Structure 1
Amino acid sequence: MIEVPSQYSTFRFRNAMGVHGDCLEVLGQLPPNSIHAVVTDPPYGVKEYDFDQLEKRSNGNGGVWRIPPSFDGNTRSALPRFTALNEKERRQLRRFFVEWTDVLLKPLVPGGHLIIATNSFLSPLVFESLIKGGLEYRGTLIRLVRTMRGGDKPKNAEQEFPEVCSMPRGCYEPWGIFRKPLSPRMTLADNLRQYQAGGLRRISNTAPFEDVIESGRTPKLERAIADHPSLKPQEFLRKVVYASLPLGKGIVLDPFMGSGSTLAASEAVGYESLGIERFEDYFNLAEEAIPHLYQAIDLKRQNSLAL
């Protein structure tokens, strides 16, 4: 496991380590060529994870967060209003991801992949910035999942325009697949031999990793373990994490650790992982949640058998 400077608070669970700190600062202090893949779901809405906006979400006041009504007695998770970004905030988003990519390239090995969650509304902006920062675009992974975003009728004019929706109902989630360029004059095979990176791990000898994965919403069991607004299901994450290390060797990084779900998925497939989280509440949540998310699918199966 990578050694992290002592000024940062850390926790460990088996082969996973979490770090409490700003990802730009921590990434800048990691050794060169020490990270083999990145799987992450960043706060790409920029302002929804500002401290004042998180406080509004916690208090149920909304702010930039959309607080959905209860349905069938269940309270749905708050969702960020991505369409609320103005042009200034879009420039900030572009600048952040260009700078972030520049910092990431040092610890990422040549050929190391970044697999990054986004949404259909912002993916062109985010992808453009990652390419400008120096990563190669390698494709888009489509997570087939019906979200609660989109499909709404015109606000305050629902009765006047009953046959109109402001934008399509979301039925997929795009994850960008990027790669740090291979070392000069190296073939993919050469790069695999030296850095254990450059490709994606196959599902089996006869089945390659595919760019469409059917995925339901995050199960209630996992949401009960980790109260995080963008928690992804372990069943989906484990497939993505597994593919990220072509030889099954190396360290998977999540620089926006949140609840620690990527680290839990990495542990489940037998990989080493490192997570970075700047918000103390989420850092503490990840430390508590990772051991339980790691066991979540087995617990779900046990519960279904008990029924």
Structure 2
Amino acid sequence: MPNPTPPPAARLTELPKPVFTDDRATLYLGDAVELLPLLPEASIDALVTDPPYGLSFNGQAWDDASGFRESLPHIDTSAMSAPEVFETWCTAWAAGALHALKPGAYVAAFGGARTWHRMVRGIENAGFEIRDQIAWLHTTGMPKSMDLSHAIDKHHGVERTDRVVQTTDHDGVLGATRTVLSKGTPVTEDAQRWQGWGTALRPAFEPIVIARKPPEGNVVRNVLKHGVGGLNVNGGRFAHDRWPTNVAFDAAQADALDVLTGTWQGESLSRKFPIFRFDHKASTAERPRAFGVSHATVKPLALMRWLITLVTPPHGVVLEPFAGSGTTVEAGALEGVRITAFEKDRAFVPLIRARIDRSDSHE
């Protein structure tokens, strides 16, 4: 494994001037891999982040191998596959985070189902302990699947005649049926044989890794010395003081679970898990726009607040290396912790500022 820390000649020698700072948050513009090693050592209480997943989301450079390679000029990645580059990049930012976090500090980091193992390996390679994972279950993910039958007809040069059909799927707006455009009836024998086959499942969960910087000595001594090392169990309780679990639902998933399982002794099964009353994709109200700019991968605010509460001591300092639209920043302000955040793309700075300003109205 190559050394993930850039040599001094290839990086800044001190943090740049922040683009924003007040008593709630400090925001720096720059690459997290370059900036993280410049934070004061052992100065951060927790890390909560929604980093790039390495899935080439919408063809964006910040989520594919080309963007990760740009962040790693000190490492020869020319012979690496895209997944290997992603893992190396994860090791690089995690190594910088390890430097900045206090001994015993926790990490909560989202990942994609197809690349999460690479991120976890990267975090572990940097020196963290992997403590757990949280499965965030949701209902509105859309499958990116190839219709094999339709693709086979196209491969054979056969054009299907599209047809309008009625489906009984409930669209939530227009009633029990809706009009859709079908891709037509399979034409070739091969296409008929593969009708109903695809290449992907519908995404219905996102994993969140829970990691920890190794404590100094035993946990009790570490907590007393550094003020971190445990999880805020009481702060993360839900539904009549239940112990926080490593599975979390959105409301629709919880309702579906109750329909399938019914109740036992007057209690629904979903009450045994934390339920966040939001859609998988944050609502329009939660998606800030500034000067015509918005962000495509906004996490719901309630979930981020719960994660911050779970891993951060009261009035602690939380690190978000990939601020994006600023959901973690806003969540931290609402939870009364201080946020240190990095964002590489200047276009998102107004969104983050809007999040910080909006947190005032919630207080």
Q: TM-score, normalising length from structure 2?
A: 0.65
1:94 shift after superposition: 1.3
For the residues of structure 2 that align with 1:34 and 1:263, how far apart are their CA atoms?
18
Rate the CA distance shift 1:270–1:191 in 2: closer, same or farther, 3 A.
Answer: same
Within 5 Å, give how 1:291-302 maps onto structure 2. 291-292=357-358, 294=359
Unpaired stretches in structure 1, ≥5 consecutive residues: 55-63, 65-86, 300-307
Of 244, 247, 254, the match for 1:209: 244
Check whether the contact 1:153–1:162 (CA below 8 A) recurs between aligned residues.
no
> Which residue number corresponds to residue 285 of structure 2?
221
CA offsets, 1:173-217, max 9 Å, x none? 11111111111xx22221111111111111458543321122322
- Greater RCO (CA < 8 Å, at least 6 residues apart): 1
Segments of 4+ in structure 1 off by > 4 A? 46-50
For the residues of structure 1 that align with 2:55 and 2:27, how far apart are their CA atoms?
22
Check whether the contact 2:109–2:208 (CA below 8 A) recurs between aligned residues.
yes
For the residues of structure 2 that align with 1:197 and 1:23, how far apart are their CA atoms?
23
1:285 shift after superposition: 2.1
Rate the CA distance shift 1:149–1:45 in 2: closer, same or farther, 3 A.
Answer: farther
Given residue 31 of structure 2, which amino acid in structure 1 is its aligned partner? D
Residue 244 (1) aligns with residue 311 (2) = yes
Check whether the contact 1:261–1:290 (CA below 8 A) recurs between aligned residues.
no
CA offsets, 1:250-294, max 9 Å, x none? 2001000111110100111111111101111012321223322x3
For the residues of structure 2 that align with 1:6 and 1:139, how far apart are their CA atoms?
32
Given residue 222 of structure 1, which amino acid in structure 2 is its aligned partner? E
Unpaired stretches in structure 2, ≥5 consecutive residues: 1-12, 67-79, 153-182, 251-278
> Which residue number corresponds to residue 58 of structure 1?
none
For the residues of structure 1 that align with 2:20 and 2:36, how far apart are their CA atoms?
17
Residue 230 (1) aligns with residue 297 (2) = yes
> Which residue number corresponds to residue 90 of structure 2?
97
Task: State which structure, 1 or 2, has the greater radius of gyration over its C-alpha atoms.
Answer: 2
Of 83, 104, 112, the match for 2:105: 112
> Which residue number corresponds to residue 268 of structure 1?
334
Identity, % of aligned positions: 24
For the residues of structure 1 that align with 2:16 and 2:215, how far apart are their CA atoms?
33
For the residues of structure 1 that align with 2:17 and 2:31, how far apart are their CA atoms?
10
Q: TM-score, normalising length from structure 1?
A: 0.76
1:53 shift after superposition: 4.6
> Which residue number corresponds to residue 166 of structure 1?
199
For the residues of structure 2 that align with 1:224 and 1:103, how far apart are their CA atoms?
29
Within 5 Å, give how 1:9-158 maps onto structure 2. 9-45=18-54, 48=57, 53=61, 88-150=81-143, 152-154=145-147, 156-157=151-152
